[in-house]
Structures are given as C-alpha cells and as structure tokens.
Amino acid sequence: MIDITLNQIFNAKMSDSEFDKLSTFIFDQAGIKMPKVKKVMLQSRLQKRLRKLEITSFDAYIEYLFSEKGQKEEIIHMLDVVSTNKTDFFREPVHFDFLKDQVLPEFIKKQNLDNIKIWSAGCSSGEEPYTVAMVLEEFSNEINSINYSLTGTDISSQILQKAALAVYKEERITNIPLEIKRKYFLRSKDRNKKTVRIIKKLRDKVKYKRLNFMADVYNLNKEFDVIFCRNVLIYFNRETQEKVINKLCLKLKRNGYLFIGHSESIMGMDVPLKQIKPTIFKRI
C-alpha cells in the first residue's frame, strides 16, 4: 500500500486546468509569471510538496492549498519550491565597480559615512549581500573607514536560512581573487566536505528578512542609501514591475542609488528615478 502511494506521488501529473489554477494563484500571491512552457518545471517542483504531504494528485493538492489550513500553512512552502534562486558572487561586476569607484567616493564628499544602509532585495542564498560587504570592507580598509549595514530579503524562507548560514561549495568561489578568498572565506575543517563559510564579521553585517514584493507596503524600518534589485523584475509583468519599483523607491533615500539586472529595463515607467547608466538609477 505504501509503495503504491509513493508511486502515485512520484508520477502525479498536472493537467492543463490544474496548471492554470496554480499559475494564476502564484501570480496573485507573488507576481511570478508562469507561462505554459513552465508547466513541466512547475509539476516537477511541486511534486516535492506532494511527497512531503503524502498527497497523490495535483487536484487534491490544489484543494488543500486553497483551504483555510492550506492558506495558513502551505503557501510559504509552495512559494519556496516555486521561486528561482540563481545567483553568484560578484555577478554583473560593473555594478560593484561603480559602487566602489562612484557611489562610495560621492558619499565621502557628502560626509555620509556614519552608517551606509544597503538593501539586497531578492538576495537569494546571500551571494549578493556578502559580495557588497566585501566591496565595502575593501574600501574601508584601503581608502576610507566606513560604517555600514546590509539587509537581505527574499520570498523564500528556506533560501534565507541558507543565506544566514553562509556556507557554500568551494566551486562557487573559484573565480574570486585569492586575496579576497583568504580574507573573507573560511574552509571547512572537514576537508571531505569541500565547503567554505563567510567570516563572522561579514555575516554579522547582514540581517535577513522574508519579504514578498507583492505586499502593499514593504515592512522595513529604514530608508536605504543603495538598493540592489537585480534579476527580479524579469519574473513580473510590466504593470507589476512598475509597482515594485515605486515601492522600492519609497525605501530609497533621495539621491540614493538603485541597481537592476542587465536583462531588465524600466524605460517608460512612471518612477522617481533618473538614469545614470543603463542599469543604474538615482532617486530624485
């Protein structure tokens, strides 16, 4: 009986109508677009939840998801497996060069070094905020001492736990200069694991919080000097993108900087930003 149940779960298929219900729900909850071509991907990812819950069909899963209990207990887990978390250290390096060469010197001229606040919105497993922290540490050590704090947010509570733990496979840092690796990464004492961990000084600089971009208000109790929101907008339609950018701007200080991904554009949007470079904007 158990084998039959497991077999049913592993082979559960999603009908077109079930996909339509789930994709609509995911868009309403998280703003994530799910075109028909992603049906197989969605089926594969949600099979993990079916196995966990011992549910044998997507019809039964949808019934549970839409129930009062499911609304309270399952949505967060469903979004964890649905959301995409792809990132790297020093991804799109031109942004970090601009931060070091333009933004931080500008803050020095304005004597705005007391506590630089930076938000990594859609931080995934932490590579982006820790990269920012490394850039700020290098600047602080070599050019001018600065005080800073970072906030990392993501819709996936599971990925935020990984970010806070800050443990990565060694292969993830192969392209980072050796001197940076020596300063900011610790190798596991168990050499069979082949993992590294961000040093405590940098881990302590980043605070993580779950945030859904579809929320009416972003519940963060500060305004930021810099916001990185890169490779997030691509999952939203144009209307949602504009709403998200405007809500981000409410948390960005006047003359603060917003970085978006190189495959993204906010041209033609009604937002309080002026373009500095193709993917770099300043709050006006």
Can you list the residues of the chain whose pLDDT is less than 70?
A: 1-10, 84-85, 112-113
Q: What pLDDT sits at residue 10?
A: 60
The HSE-up count of residue 198 (CA atoms within 13 Å, CB side) is: 24
At 2 the pLDDT is: 45
Q: What angle do CA 222, 226, 232 make, to 5 degrees?
A: 100
> Residue 217's pLDDT is what?
92
Contact (Cβ atoms closer than 8 angstroms) between residue 149 and residue 140: no
Tell me how far apart the alpha carbons of residues 39 and 17 are, in angstroms, rounded to a whole number.
11
Every domain of the chain and the residues it spans = 2-82, 94-283
Instruction: Tell me the DSSP string of 61-124.
Output: HHHHHTSHHHHHHTHHHHHHHHS-----TT-STHHHHHIIIIIHHHHHHTT--S-EEEEEET-T
Q: For position 8, what pLDDT does the model report?
A: 59
What residue ranges in 128-241 does DSSP mark as E strands? 148-154, 167-169, 185-187, 195-198, 206-210, 224-229
Domain 2-82 belongs to what topology?
Answer: Chemotaxis Receptor Methyltransferase Cher; domain 1 (1.10.155)
CATH number, domain 94-283, options 3.40.630.30, 3.50.50.60, 3.40.50.150, 3.40.50.720: 3.40.50.150
What is the pLDDT at residue 76?
83
Q: Rounded distance, CA 114 to CA 118, Å?
A: 13
Strand pairing class (148-154; 195-198): unpaired
Q: Is the dihedral of CA 52, 53, 59, 65 positive or negative?
A: negative
Alpha-carbon span 119 to 211, nearest angstrom: 12
- Give the dihedral sign, CA 110/116/122/123: positive
Q: Report the pLDDT value the prediction gives residue 179, as an integer from 0 to 100.
A: 94
